[in-house]
Amino acid sequence: MQVANRPSSQADGTPDFSVEPSVVLKNPSFHDITEVISKPIESKATLKWYIALAFSMMLLTLELVCWGLSFYYGDGLWGNNIPVAWAFPIVNFVFWIGIGHAGTLISAILFLFRQKWRNGIARFAEGMTIFAVMTAGLFPLFHTGRQWLPLYLVPYPNKHAVWVNFLSPLVWDVFAVSTYFTVSLFFWYTGLIPDFATLRDRTLGKDLVSRIRKTVYSVLSLGWRFSNRHWRHYERVYLILAGVSTPLVLSVHTIVSFDFAVSGLLGWHTTIFPPYFVAGAIFSGFAMVVTVLVFIRYIFDMQHIITVDILEKMNKIILLTGTLVGYAYGMEFFIAWYSGNAVEQFVFINRAFGPYAWAYWIMISCNVISPQMFWFRKLRRSVPVMFVTSIFVNIGMWFERYVITVTSLARDYLPSSWGWYNPTLVDFGLLLGSFGMFFTLTLLFVKFMPVVSIAEVKGVMDNARPSHHGGDH
Amino acid sequence: MELQQSQPQPRYWQSLDELKGTPEVLEAKRHEFQKGVTDGFDVKQMSGISRRRFLAAMGASAAFALASCKSYLDQGEVVPYNEQPEELIVGRPNYYASVIRTSHSATPVLVKTREGRPVMISGNPEHPFSRGGISSHAQARIMGLYDPERLKEPMQQGAPTTWTEVDGVLRKALSGLAGEGKQGLVLTHCLMSPSAKKSLDQLVKKYPQLTVHSYTHLNHSHRDAAWKKSYGQDAFPALHWDKADVILALEADFLGVEGDAEAERLFATRRDIMNEAVKFNRLYVAEGNLSITGMSADYRLRLRPDAQYAFVMALAQALGEAGFSLPGALSAKAAAFNLKQFNQTYGLAESTLKHLVADLVKAKGKALIYAGDRLSESVHLAVNALNEALGADALYDFTHPALHQHPLSNPAELQQAVAEMQTGKVGLVIHWGTNPSYHLAAMGYAEALKKVPLSVMLSTHANETSADCTYTLPVHHDLEAWGDYETHSGLCALQQPVVAPLHKSRQAEGLFLTWAASADAAYSETLYLDFLRYNWQESVYRQSGSLLDFQNYWRTALHDGFVNYRKSGASKPAYRAAALNDLVESKAGDGYVLSLHPAYATLDGEFADHGWLQEIPHPVSKVVWDNYAAVSVATARELGVKTDELIQLDVEGKTLTLPVLEQPGMADKVIAVELGYGRTQAGTIGSQVGFDANPLIRFDSATPMIAAVNATKASGKHRLVTTQLHHAFDVPREQDLHFARQIVNEGNYGDYLKDPHSIEMHVHKIPNITKPIEYKGIKWSMAIDMNKCTGCSACIMACNVENNIPVVGPEQVDKGREMHWIRLDRYYSGTPEEPKVSLQIMLCQHCDNAPCEVVCPVNASNHSDDGLNQMAYNRCVGTRYCSNNCHYKVRRFNFFNYRDEFAKAYYSQELAQLQHNPEVTVRSRGVMEKCTFCVQRIMWARQEAIREKRDLKGTDVTVACQEVCPSGAIIFGDANDKDSAVYKYQDHATSYKVLEALNAAPSVTYVTKLRNTHEKV
């Protein structure tokens, strides 16, 4: 049996598991790597890119229009009501924040664990984090009734002499999300500096575009000269930032889960929420990375850099986190039963068999059942299968937040105030539009910045040497 | 003082040198103002701008900058009084006693005005009948005053005209009637005012061709007619509801739409857990449709309304067997009936009937049978006989019997009048306040009206009838008018204007007097006032035998709002058994029976244009902005329809298609429809709301509102908007949650008497790891006595008016965005056939450990030292987290700027805005709101206490919902005051808190509802 990428020393071709497999295939030279990664940036944008950008900007426009309308007329344009005071916008917020989690996990935690395979995908995953958090951040900001007063959520000395309420998880959220965004941005940018320098040095044309390009890259690369000292500092900073980011991976979604867990609403009021939300976030984040990478590696001929091996490893994590999430679903039921709290029991039975059962079962089949395919190596390595599954996972994870948010609110303590939630067109517009924002940013990213880290990939190639200078072109 | 002296004086310094005290500085300081120090200054070398000029320029530019900032708060202008009215202090309300009338009632009220502007109508607490209780309709009248679509000037077929012209035309027409040999008609609703009656009399005297007809859908005609036959008197006595131990209500909603505040109040005195001297009464209700009274019943019998005659007879037979001496005619007729047989036919609970008979026997002398207004005269005759046999004498009050100033026209008379209009015999019709084209659609009134050459509508609002009238003339609103109302003989209420007429309207009675006077007499605003005073001097004052001179008597009456000039009444007249010869046996049909009811929200349609009333949920079904055909679950299945699906009703060829609502507790085969909906000319708010059932009224029948009907399924659907989800009886896990979750506690009265603690709600004690907050001084709390609450919803209206609650419209309610701060939760338990109804007033519980407060990121939701859960609107950004975390879901969010959003900003118009209570902020979009315990009233009371240099007491504050509650079910006060009522309620064995186990420590206490049944609950 010949397994791609795994050297086989045996005559019969069985893979040799004692040798670490190459992360990058086809044994390219450093120069080849630089060429491949720089190509999309340096060549003219293809028609496909323009079509994709046009489409996603259309969705972005939809989002802007929907935000504008909501701002002008009020939150009443959505389906939110009493009792379901939080619905689509909060679901979208948690969904996108979750998506953002893969980036930091891959770039920081896997970096600290010296997982070489992460180098091919880290850059993209980090970028995705930034964009996902940006997309997510708009929701809580505009979700309030008076969107022009977000500053009230920030503790600053003011003439009202009113401080924020530090007991409220929403205030924690403000800190958690903004810290996460800032650190992720720095981390991402730090990693980009050597690549910007590479791009700067490669930009030789004398035409106006080239000159602008050169100027921009020069500024962004902060005078990087690939010197040993630079590298040493860089590695230090990168390591420190990785260290700083690591707790954030866990803290952000923990705090987002506190928005729910700290409240007294049954179905939200659960101690399992922090780990469960973090697992779910990684789950959905990885799924989103897989969804997009499958395209990118194909479009930009990077199959040998973003190898099936890497994707397989991601799928394994999807399988793991999916199963964790499934465990959490089961544990919620168990605790509801074990607590002896009849209201809590009702909430969970109502979730699975009540009027919102359809959403619950979509969630279960997408999140728990669909990743189970990855137990099989063949399916795990099949690009079409992983693409479809990752889409399923994202659908499932969106529904998970929907189920948690809406079903718990719709039927709480007093049956007299039970209600029903119907999303409006504006709600759907914002949901679709948020994809527009995310993909517009992603598309601009893949066109103007190295979607794979040139420097880092070189570091994990078979011919990498400790003495390697990086600045090979 | 000594302490202050011992403290070191602070030292101020201008520079470090000064602080150190260098000699140069000390020297320089001495010369600061020395002559000649400025001699060395060369002004020419200095800047051309002096300090003064600089400051002036700065000031001017700042002023310009400010002038260009247009704030939305700056709109309009504030003009002070040129000459301040003597009785008015800006910022202090004035109260005036007056009367609010509807088509069938006149409620004595107290009107609160601010700076001359009426802002709230509440009941007159001094009035011996209502004692401050008031219906939601009378309160909602304030909305009509400021309705932007009120008639503003006289109109001739849609074009403005002048009063002078109107006077001329009408005088000519009235005097021309005789010459043309034609008749004139005056149509009005129930006439309750003696002076108005006299003014009409003057008109009729001058123009004898005029005939006056009055009618209303909400009448007691059958009851009164039967009373006259049985006792030879017109006046039906007032009832001592509080003295009856056992009450059997036959299709009678005496606690709801057929009753008044007095009935509710008196009934509630027999449900008073605090008064150990009185025992609970027992209420039996036999009805087809589930009414407010039916919800309050201890025993309820589901009975189709056309079987009431048979039921009364069967009951008579049973009572006869039990040893009561019945009049011969009754026993003879009742012999054919048998309660057991009856029971078999209608499937009533046999045990209930047994209890009923036994209780009636046992409570002899203190038992009352009360038949509903819509039942036939025969049923009332039989009921009179039964009451006579039961010895209900002690329950009648003849001091102030019910009184009509003008006998209501019976359907035959109205039919006759319409026929005469149709044949062209009528030359002139004057409508006053009523709307016959809509009400009398079954008689074809609208078509007949078109045959009348000159027709006039005197009204505050345009309506279906005015659309076909030659002249539409605006008359004063209740709050602009003079009047006197004597609905109960010997008790006359005075109506006085509390605001100058807002539009070019006139006093209707003044118009009659003007037209009745000589041709050159002009209308004046004092015309009717003088007439009224003269009448009072001649009649009321004389009869009262008051020792005051009339001027003072009148002033006192105006101040009090009423005079009670009869202290004792006649004794009960003798019963005439001969009346029973008029008994007409009526057999119940087998088919569907249509039962038409006046609507809880709009009565007979009069209030269709009052948005607040349309939005108050139906007390039973919780439907808003609509009417429907209520049917039992079995009947719905038989008809093949479900809730929201349409059925077609056919009464003798007259059809109506409307949606069905599966109403638990309905008698099978009964289709109950509310009148008062489907108006076409009720302005922006009231038009096209619901379905008009007036054409289905059978005026030719003994029971116009109850008729056999053909019902068939029709195609299509119509969504009925409710504030509570329809109860799913078929989902076991959703049953009885209100008991299982400790939301509602109920018990049996008998058990309570044996051991009050036996019905206590068992709540686990929750250990606190933190020290609970202690409230020193006042701790505001509320107690709600569910034994007294009937579900009339007057509290919701009071809250609306007091707290400027916006109308949001059916679409928003359907989305779950109604804005009411107080709501009436209704729970069913048992089967859909025989449901037990549990009500619960639900409002912000002002929890000591309020879950909403901890989650608010901006501290907009916080707690006061006296136990209020406060909302800082200005600080609220609208995250809505507080609502999510509220266990009671009583918080309301302004998803829109509702005043701008609803009905194209109908209630944003300048006139409508005048209705707002100036004490309460009008909340903008994006802000959360909820019950404040009427914090503005608390602050007012505190301010008064400080002004009077005394301590604020819990009893100084009456909250709006408490103020209007006819039965006194809401108690508010200081829980730290051991003598206060609210403390006693909190401390009572049967009191409990909703969801107490969650440890939110709510400040609202509920009293366990006790059902006075023989069996355990």
Q: What is the pLDDT of residues A62-76, one digit of tens each?
A: 999 999 999 999 999
Contacts of A169 in chain B (CB under 8 A): 855
Q: A81 and B816: CB-CB below 8 Å?
A: yes
Predicted local distance difference test score (pLDDT) of residue B466: 94
Predicted local distance difference test score (pLDDT) of residue B707: 93
pLDDT bracket for residue A106 (50, 70, 90): confident
Residue A189's identity, in one-letter code, is: Y
Predicted local distance difference test score (pLDDT) of residue A35: 84
Establish if A201 belongs to a structural domain. Answer: yes
User: Strands B928-929, B970-974: parallel, antiparallel or unpaired by DSSP?
Assistant: unpaired
Q: Does B875 touch chain A (CB under 8 A)?
A: yes
**Distances, alpha carbon B590 to alpha carbons A84, A376, B349, B671, B699, in Å:** 46, 70, 20, 13, 22
Q: B725 and A418: CB-CB below 8 Å?
A: yes
Q: In sequence order, which ranges of B546-682 are alpha helices (DSSP H)?
A: 550-560, 611-615, 633-639
* Alpha-carbon gap, residue B497 to B201, rounded angstroms: 23
* Alpha-carbon gap, residue B505 to B151, rounded angstroms: 8
Mean pLDDT of A286-298: 89
Which chain A residue has its CA at the smallest distance from B856's CA? A168
**Phi-psi region for residue A257, left (φ > 0), alpha (ψ -120 to 50) or beta?**
alpha
pLDDT bracket for residue A36 (50, 70, 90): confident
Find the domain containing A95 and state its range. Answer: 30-459
Contact by Cβ (8 Å): B499, B454:
no
Q: B884 and A160: CB-CB below 8 Å?
A: no
Vertex A111, ends A110 and A117: CA angle to 5°?
Answer: 70
Helices A119-143 & A273-299, crossing angle to 10 degrees? Answer: 120
Q: Does B217 touch chain A (CB under 8 A)?
A: no
Ranked by mean pLDDT, the top range of A102-111, A289-298, A375-384, B401-410 is: A375-384
Mean pLDDT of B923-927: 93
Tens digit of each residue's pLDDT (9 = 90 or more) over B208-241? 999 999 999 999 999 999 999 999 888 899 999 9
Mean pLDDT of B573-583: 89
With a cut of 90, say whether residue B771 has pLDDT above it.
no
Structure tokens at B679: 């108006």
pLDDT bracket for residue B673 (50, 70, 90): very high
Interface test with A, best of B721, B862, B873, B880 (most A CBs within 10 A): B880
Residue B858, min C-alpha distance to chain A (Å): 5
Tens digit of each residue's pLDDT (9 = 90 or more) over B847-865? 999 999 999 999 999 999 9
Signed CA dihedral, B86, B90, B95, B98: sign only: positive
Establish if A356 belongs to a structural domain. Answer: yes
Using only C-alpha atoms, chain B has a radius of gyration, in whole angstroms, of 33
Q: Which residues of A437-465 are buried (b: 16+ CB within 10 A; e: fewer)?
A: bbbbbbbbbbbebbbbbbbbbbbbbeeee
Percent of chain B's residues with pLDDT above 70: 93
Mean pLDDT of A181-202: 92
Vertex B13, ends B10 and B18: CA angle to 5°?
Answer: 130
Establish if A213 belongs to a structural domain. Answer: yes
pLDDT bracket for residue A161 (50, 70, 90): confident
**Contact residues for B121 (Cβ-Cβ < 8 A; gap 6+):** B100, B109, B110, B111, B112, B134, B138, B139, B141, B142, B479, B801
With a cut of 90, say whether residue B130 has pLDDT above it.
no
User: Lowest-pLDDT range, B3-17, B237-251, B341-355, B646-660?
Assistant: B3-17
Q: A414 and B889: CB-CB below 8 Å?
A: yes
| Closest CB to A162 among B815, B859, B994 | B859
pLDDT bracket for residue B996 (50, 70, 90): very high
Q: Does B877 touch chain A (CB under 8 A)?
A: yes
Predicted local distance difference test score (pLDDT) of residue B4: 47
Residue B991, min C-alpha distance to chain A (Å): 19
Interface test with A, best of B877, B894, B929, B931 (most A CBs within 10 A): B877
Contacts of B858 in chain A (CB under 8 A): 152-153, 162, 164-165
| Closest CB to A168 among B815, B854, B926 | B854
CB count within 10 Å of CB B645 equals: 18
Q: How many domains does chain A have?
A: 1
Whole-angstrom distance between the N-terminal and C-terminal Cα of chain A? Answer: 38
Q: A144 and B879: CB-CB below 8 Å?
A: yes
* Alpha-carbon gap, residue B876 to B924, rounded angstroms: 11
Adjacent-strand bridge partners of B657: B648
What is the ipTM, given to two decimal places?
A: 0.91
Q: Does B738 touch chain A (CB under 8 A)?
A: yes
Closest CA to B256 of B704, B789, B971: B789
Predicted local distance difference test score (pLDDT) of residue B1016: 66
With a cut of 70, say whether residue B410 has pLDDT above it.
yes
With a cut of 50, say whether residue A133 has pLDDT above it.
yes
Predicted local distance difference test score (pLDDT) of residue B520: 80
3-state SS assignment for residue B621: coil
| Closest CB to A264 among B851, B894, B927 | B851
Residue B741, min C-alpha distance to chain A (Å): 7
pLDDT bracket for residue A302 (50, 70, 90): confident
Edge-to-edge order in the sheet of strand B970-974: B970-974, B780-785, B1004-1007, B991-992
Q: B901 and A350: CB-CB below 8 Å?
A: no
Q: What is the DSSP letter of B9?
A: P
Contact by Cβ (8 Å): B225, B538:
no
**Distances, alpha carbon A195 to alpha carbons A225, A296, A364, B182, B501, in Å:** 11, 18, 42, 104, 81
Contacts of A161 in chain B (CB under 8 A): none
Q: Would you kindly state where each structural domain of chain B is located, as residue ranges?
A: 94-145, 155-219+405-564, 221-397, 592-722, 732-1011
* Alpha-carbon gap, residue B691 to B684, rounded angstroms: 16
| Closest CB to A144 among B842, B889, B926 | B926
Q: What is the CATH number of domain B221-397?
A: 3.40.228.10
* Alpha-carbon gap, residue B789 to B785, rounded angstroms: 7
With a cut of 80, say whether residue A4 has pLDDT above it.
no
Q: What is the largest CA-CA distance in chain B?
A: 129
User: Lowest-pLDDT range, A41-45, A325-329, B248-252?
Assistant: A41-45
With a cut of 90, say whether residue A346 has pLDDT above it.
yes
Question: Which CATH number covers residue A432?
Answer: 1.20.1630.10
Q: B895 and A420: CB-CB below 8 Å?
A: no
Q: Does B739 touch chain A (CB under 8 A)?
A: no
Tens digit of each residue's pLDDT (9 = 90 or more) over A355-397? 999 999 999 999 999 999 999 999 999 999 999 999 999 999 9
Contact by Cβ (8 Å): B777, B866:
yes
pLDDT bracket for residue B393 (50, 70, 90): confident
Mean pLDDT of B107-122: 93
Contact by Cβ (8 Å): B368, B392:
yes
Establish if A19 belongs to a structural domain. Answer: no
With a cut of 80, say whether residue B791 has pLDDT above it.
yes
Which chain A residue has its CA at the smallest distance from B861's CA? A165
Cis omega (within 30 of 0) for bond into A83: yes
Q: Which B residues in the span 840-859 are in contact with A, Cβ-Cβ below 8 Å?
A: 840, 842, 851, 854-859
Mean pLDDT of B829-833: 91
Interface test with B, best of A414, A420, A425, A426 (most B CBs within 10 A): A414
User: Lowest-pLDDT range, A137-141, A304-308, B11-15, B723-727?
Assistant: B11-15
Contacts of B925 in chain A (CB under 8 A): 74, 76, 145-146
Closest CA to B196 of B505, B483, B563: B483
Structure tokens at B377: 């005269």
Fold of domain B94-145: N-terminal domain of TfIIb (2.20.25)
Closest CA to B765 of B1005, B993, B989, B997: B997
Kindly report the average pLDDT of chain B as a whole number. Answer: 90
User: Lowest-pLDDT range, A60-74, A355-369, B39-53, B188-202?
Assistant: B39-53
Q: Does B837 touch chain A (CB under 8 A)?
A: no
Q: Which residues of B787-806 are buried (b: 16+ CB within 10 A; e: fewer)?
A: bbbbbbbbbbbbbbbbbbbb
* Alpha-carbon gap, residue B895 to B878, rounded angstroms: 9
Adjacent-strand bridge partners of A341: none
Residue A355, min C-alpha distance to chain B (Å): 11
Tens digit of each residue's pLDDT (9 = 90 or more) over A309-329? 889 999 999 999 999 999 999
Between residues B45 and B431, the one the model is more confident about: B431
Q: Does B725 touch chain A (CB under 8 A)?
A: yes
* Alpha-carbon gap, residue B393 to B243, rounded angstroms: 11
Contacts of B923 in chain A (CB under 8 A): none
Predicted local distance difference test score (pLDDT) of residue B27: 64
Residue B538's identity, in one-letter code, is: E
Percent of chain A's residues with pLDDT above 70: 92
* Alpha-carbon gap, residue B792 to B826, rounded angstroms: 12
Vertex B235, ends B416 and B370: CA angle to 5°?
Answer: 95
Q: Does B742 touch chain A (CB under 8 A)?
A: no
Q: Does B901 touch chain A (CB under 8 A)?
A: yes
Report how far Cα A274 is from the mean position of its chain's Cα atoms. 17
Q: Which residues of B680-691 are buried (b: 16+ CB within 10 A; e: fewer)?
A: ebbbebbeebbb
Residue A313, min C-alpha distance to chain B (Å): 39
Give the phi and the psi of residue B557 in degrees, each rounded to 5.
-60, -40
Between residues A263 and A38, the one the model is more confident about: A263
Q: Does B997 touch chain A (CB under 8 A)?
A: no
pLDDT bracket for residue B730 (50, 70, 90): confident
Tens digit of each residue's pLDDT (9 = 90 or more) over A88-97? 999 999 999 9
pLDDT bracket for residue A471 (50, 70, 90): very low
Predicted local distance difference test score (pLDDT) of residue B126: 92
Architecture per CATH, domain B732-1011, reads as 2-Layer Sandwich (3.30)
Reported pTM: 0.89
Predicted local distance difference test score (pLDDT) of residue A3: 45
Q: Does B770 touch chain A (CB under 8 A)?
A: no
pLDDT bracket for residue B719 (50, 70, 90): very high
Q: Which CATH number fits domain B592-722: 3.20.20.60, 2.40.40.20, 2.20.130.10, 3.40.50.300?
A: 2.40.40.20
Mean pLDDT of B42-50: 63
Architecture per CATH, domain B155-219+405-564, reads as 3-Layer(aba) Sandwich (3.40)
Mean pLDDT of B733-752: 92
Contacts of B740 in chain A (CB under 8 A): 342
